[in-house]
Structure 1
C-alpha cells in the first residue's frame, strides 16, 4: 500500500504540471462562467433524461449539467446533498433507487457503498487516460478529480487581530481561535471524514482523539456539508474553515477575502468520484453511463475551469486551472484508502460520540 501511495503522489505531480435542474438552497442560481476555450463537443443526440444525486457545489453543478445536456441532448434532474447524506439516501432507497448516478464526494464513501451493494460496476473507456493510481481496482466507482485539504482563512479577521495564518494543525489549537473555527461533521461530510481518517493515520488513534478533543474547544459549530465552512469564512462568521482547497480557492476567485493555507505538517488528499447506483432509475442506464463517460472526458474535465473550480482533473489530457500548488510543494499524509473506506461508518460515529455537537450539525 505504501508503494501505491508513492505512485499516486508521483502521478499527482505529473498532473499538476500538465496542463439541468438542481434542487437546494441556491439551486436556481446560474454559475459564473469564464471565457474558456473547451475541446470541441460531440454533436447533440436525442436523449431522454437522467436523475443524479450530487455532492458537488450548487455554484458548479449547472456548468457541468448544462454542458452535458448541450452535448448529448440528455436532460438532467439533480438533487444536491452532502456526501454523507447522498450515501444515506442511496442506502435508504436500496430497494427502489430514485437516482441513477451519484456524483462527487470522496472515494472513501464510494468504497463503503460498493461493499454495501449500492453501486453498479462500470468501467468507462475514458479510463485509458487516467493513471492507475486513481482508479478503483474493482471498477465500481470512477475517479473524476483530486482534492487537497487546506485552511480557508478570513483575511479581514487576521488583519484586525494581528494574528499569523495557521501553518500546521496544532496552530488551530491556539486559544485565540476559540469559537472561530468551523468544520463539518465527518458523519455527513466527505471533507471532514477525509481529515479524520488522515489524522488518525498520521497520529494514531489515541493521539488523534486527543487532538480532536482539543480542537473541539475552538470549534464554533459543526456543519452538515463540507462546503458550509467556506460560507462561514466568506461571511466573517468564522476565522478559519477546514475545507477542500478547491472550495476555498473558489471563494477567493469570487472576490471574497479568503486566504488559503495548506498544513505544512501534512495535508490530506481525496479522490473525488462518481458511480452508477445499483438498480438505478428505470430506462436511465445508458444515459447514466454516457454521463460518466462525459464527466471523465477531456471536455467534461475542462469544465472544471469554466466552473471556476480548482479541482485537479484526473484525465491526463485535460488542462488544469491556474493558481494550483506547485508540484512537490505539499507535504501529503500517506493514507490507506482501503482502510479508510472500510471503517468510514465506525470511525465517523466514534467522532460524533466523542464530539457530541457533531451529532447535530447545522446546515
Structure 2
C-alpha cells in the first residue's frame, strides 16, 4: 500500500510538471504588441501573424504619445515586446530614454535606407503626409475658401472652427509641431502655433479624430494625415475635401521596433521580420488603411497617388525625436 501511495504521488508530480511546462511554454509563446496604427489594421495583422507563425499574439491600441508614456512607466517591468506603427520620431524619443532595443531585421534590406534607422532603432512600414481637411458644406455656407497654406489657418474666418490633435498624446500632433518649427524656425514657429491655438475649438487625443469631427460638421477645418481622409471618404463622409499646404508639409514614417528588456524577444523579432514583408504591408489596404508602403516590393494603395507630388519639407526625424519633450513642454507652457 505504501509503495502504491509513493507511485501515485510520483505520478501526480510528473503530471503537474508536464502541465507546468506546457503552461510555461504557452506563456512564453504569447506576444503582446502596442499598436499606434488604426485598430482594424492591428487586428488584421495579429490574425495573419498568428496564422503564419502559430505564435499567440494580442495587442493594445493607443496613440504614439500615450504608448511612449506607458512604456516610460513600465521601463523596469516591460509588459509588451513590440511597438507597431506610429511616428518614427516618437520611437527616437523612446530610444533616447532607453526604451527601445535596436534590431536589424534580416528583412530590412527590402526597406530603402531613407525609411529606416541605420542602427536598427526603428524600421519604417508606411508613410503618411500631413494636410488639411475641410467640411465642404461649411465652406460653401460661409463663403470661405479652402486654406492652401499654413498661414491661411490664422485667417479670422477660421477662428473657433479648427480641430487639432494634442501633441501630448498624439504622434500626428507632434508631427504638426515639428513641421512648423522646421519650416519657420523655432521662434517664428512657436509664435505661429501660439496664434493658431486661438483658432482651435478642440484638441483631440488621437490624430485620427480631427477628420471625423470635420466630417460630422462639428468643426470646419482639421489637420491630419491625408491617408486618413481617404479612408473617411470611403466610409461615407462625402462632404469633405483635402489639400496639402503649398508652402510645404511634413510627413510621418510609421515604424516598428522592439522594446527594451521586453519579454518574448525571439517572438518579437519574428513579428518585426514579418511586418517588413510585402504580404504584411499590403494587408492594410484590405481594412481601409491607405498609407504609402515602404517595402520596395509591396504595391501601395492607388488612392494616395494624387498626393505623392506634394511639397514635402526635409523633415529631420532625428532632430524631431531628440527635441520632442522640449518642444511639447514649450507648446504646453505657451497654452497655460
**TM-score, normalised with respect to structure 1:** 0.81
State the Cα distance separating 1:70 from its structure 2 match: 2.1
State the distance in 1 between where 2:200 and 2:219 align.
9
Q: 1:333 aligns with which of 297, 313, 323?
A: 313
Shift of 1:228: 1.7
Matched, 1:112 2:93: yes
1:39-50 to structure 2, matched below 5 A, reads 48-50=29-31
Q: 254, 257, 266: which one pairs with 1:275?
A: 257
> CA offset at residue 294 of structure 1?
1.3
Asked if structure 2 preserves the Cα contact closer than 8 Å seen for 1:187 and 1:345, the reply is: no
SS in structure 1 opposite 2:253? strand
Match of 2:141 among 148, 152, 160: 160
The answer as to 2:300 corresponding to 1:293 is no
Larger radius of gyration: 2
Q: How far has the Cα of 1:326 moved from its partner?
A: 4.2
Cα distance, 1:248 vs. partner? 1.6
Q: Is 1:318 equivalent to 2:298 in the alignment?
A: yes
Aligned residues: CA RMSD? 1.6
Counterpart CA distance in 2 for 1:193 and 1:184 is 9
Matches within 5 A, 1:193-342: 193-256=174-237, 257-281=239-263, 284-326=264-306, 329-342=309-322
Between the aligned partners of 2:94 and 2:327, the Cα distance in structure 1 is 15
Q: Summarize the Cα distance change of 1:162–1:75 in structure 2 as closer, same or farther, 3 Å threshold.
A: farther
* Deviation at residue 305 of structure 1 after TM alignment: 1.5
State how far apart, in whole Å, the 2-side matches of 1:103 and 1:274 are: 5
* 1:113 CA displacement: 1.0
Closer, same or farther: CA 71–217 of 1 in aligned 2, 3 Å: same
For structure 2, which runs of at least 5 residues remain unmatched after alignment?
1-27
CA 1:234/1:326 → structure 2, altered by over 3 Å: closer, same or farther? closer
TM-score w.r.t. length of structure 2: 0.88
Match of 2:161 in 1: 180
178-187 or 320-329: which moved more?
Answer: 320-329
Q: Return the match for 2:328 from 321, 344, 348.
A: 348
Kindly report structure 1 stretches of 4+ aligned residues shifted beyond 6 Å: none
CA deviation after TM superposition for structure 1 residue 314, in Å:
0.4
Matched length: 308
Unaligned runs of 5+ in 1: 1-46, 357-363
Candidates 116, 119, 129, aligned match of 1:138: 119
* Distance in 2 of aligned mates of 1:185 and 1:311: 22
In the TM superposition, what is the alpha-carbon distance from 1:267 to its structure 2 partner?
0.8
